[in-house]
Structure 1
Amino acid sequence: MTKLQADGYWYDERGEGERAREVLEALRVYRAAERAMRRRTRDEMSMGENELLALRFLFRQPERSASPASLTAYLAISPAATAVLIDRLERSGHLERPANGGGAVVRATAHADEDVRHTLSGMHERMYAVAAGMDVQAQANVTAFLRAMADAVDDVGAVPQGDG
């Protein structure tokens, strides 16, 4: 074996299994960091996980509004729990029930948008800088990897369909 080969310059001395474990470990470290960030965000905004998820859901909807039933379905909680959540978000000024919509629609407020942006803008800017700093091929590879991983974990617990 030449000096170049021994140093790993010409050939990667790590095996496929070791490289795969390194990727999965890096993913675990990222997920732990993300969980810690979400916990800090909830603490800073004095909100629970479902409250933040509800706001995120509403921000993605047309006019930042949705029915309580759609929140119930999205959060996979009971209608009673949804009513409590809506009341809390309304009291905190993050959500409103439009006067003309009665209880059929709830809407995220401008205050909610400002609060979330104030709390998360620095982190989002840092994350965007990391993604934007990657070359085109690396971006495509990471995107494909994350989508494949999402598909892999979505299959956990799936019941295989048999022939009979």
Structure 2
Amino acid sequence: MTGFFYDNDRQRATSALEALRLYQAAEAAMRRRTRESMSMGENELLVVRQLLRAQSRGQQVKPGDVAKYLGISTASTTSLLDRLESAGYLRRVPHPSDRRSVYLEPTERADDEVRATLSTMHDRMHQVAADTSPEATEAVIDFLTRMQEAVDSVEPASALRR
């Protein structure tokens, strides 16, 4: 009898992971469409979204924060920021007390284009979340939090060989 329950539990877990994979694929396709419509690469879109999110929270972002967020070198970050600035998606604002430092801010163009591209999708996603029962919402939050912890705890293969 134990095998029967194990099989059901295994099938339920497999179905949940497959649903998560399908969602991830759908989100990746949406990001690709967004990047294409805005003529951006993956990192450029990630930076624009990072800046818009920080702005909405009243937080300041420095170039070093972008480098850390993307896991890229400062030289690559500078090139990426130069591209976004010349395309009109961000501006560098002098730090008020450190002449050598700047803050990064999204432009109105960045906000307008991201809103135009993503607002319908965000509205649909909010509606799905609003239509979900409080109990199911808590279960989803718990599941995704534990999945994030499981993924974050994975060591690179090189660290495992030591």
Q: TM-score, normalised by structure 2?
A: 0.82
Corresponding residue number in structure 2 for 1:83: 78
Greater fraction of residues in helix: 2
- Counterparts of 1:10-159 in structure 2, within 5 Å, are 15-62=8-55, 63=58, 65-98=60-93, 104-157=102-155
CA deviation after TM superposition for structure 1 residue 41, in Å? 0.8
For 1:26 and 1:121, the matched residues in 2 are separated by 24
CA deviation after TM superposition for structure 1 residue 100, in Å? 7.0
Q: Which amino acid aligns with 2:8?
A: G
**Unmatched 5+ stretches in structure 1:** 1-11
* 1:45-95 superposed Cα distances (whole Å, 9 cap, x missing partner): 111111111112212325564211111111111111111111111111110
Larger of the two Rg values belongs to structure:
1
Name the SS for the 1:105 alignment partner: strand
For 1:122 and 1:47, the matched residues in 2 are separated by 20
* 1:100-138 superposed Cα distances (whole Å, 9 cap, x missing partner): 766522211111111111110011111111111001101
Name the SS for the 2:102 alignment partner: coil
For 1:107 and 1:64, the matched residues in 2 are separated by 10
CA deviation after TM superposition for structure 1 residue 98, in Å? 2.7
- Greater CA deviation, 82-91 or 150-159? 150-159
Q: Which amino acid aligns with 1:58?
A: L
The answer to whether the Cα contact below 8 Å between 1:54 and 1:71 also exists between their aligned partners in 2 is: yes
Kindly, what percent of the aligned residue pairs are identical?
47
For 2:24 and 2:61, the matched residues in 1 are separated by 29
For 2:65 and 2:23, the matched residues in 1 are separated by 30
**Unmatched 5+ stretches in structure 2:** none
Q: RMSD value over aligned CA atoms? A: 2.2
